[in-house]
Amino acid sequence: MARKGLARRLQQRALRARLDLPASLVEQLTAYVELLQRWNERMNLTALDDRDSGLDRLVIEPMIAARHLPTAKPRVIDIGSGGGSPAIPMRLAMRGGSMLMVETKARKAAFLREAVRQLGLKDTRVEASRFESLLAVPELHEAFDVLTLRAVRVEGRVLRGIQAFVKPDGQLLLFRGSRDEPAGVDPPLRWRATYPLVEGLRSRLVVLEKQAV
């Protein structure tokens, strides 16, 4: 896709989802998609094609989800970052705060670091590690306001592990399909809300809250 054409399509998809994105943000999102397309030619980072549904899932869903961030400058951790969505589009939408992307595969982590560099993302870093290993790092225990999760199967065991990264009263934002439900939501987590994302994809954002003990 030519840059101008891609930017125009992104803006059109945003307007369809009732998002009014500033031109500067559309330009940054376009640069991210272009970078992902180039790397995708060499390795299978994500299922990206020229269909509008691909842009909706890659960019529009995170833009909608960013409206539900609980603070103006959140500290966010994204588990299983893969090709960078939802983490990178959400980071571009944030006016402050920080982002930690966790990705086990070295080549995908290399792409994420290159995206951070090329897009000039401040206070953003990548850990090429399993999240289970990071649970043993004391500085990361209850260090984040928000945890985002898309490309990881949501099981009770997983939720019980990853909630340790989140502060009391913090949130887990789960990107789910039409029939996906988080299993085994036990204390200290509780369901808070479910929001629609992209109507054509029938996708939803499930928000869990970590209760203070």
At 170 the three-state DSSP class reads strand
At 209 the three-state DSSP class reads strand
Percent of the chain with pLDDT over 70: 94
Residue 48: predicted pLDDT = 67
The predicted-structure confidence for 99-115, as pLDDT tens digits, reads as follows 999 999 999 999 999 99
Q: Looking at the domain 3-210, which fold is it?
A: Rossmann fold (3.40.50)
Whole-Å CA distances, 182 to 150, 155, 190, 194: 12, 7, 11, 11
- The structural domains of the chain, with segments of one domain joined by +, span 3-210
Residue identified by tokens 């571009």 is 92
The predicted-structure confidence for 54-102, as pLDDT tens digits, reads as follows 899 999 999 999 999 998 899 999 999 999 999 999 999 998 999 999 9
Stated pTM of the model:
0.93
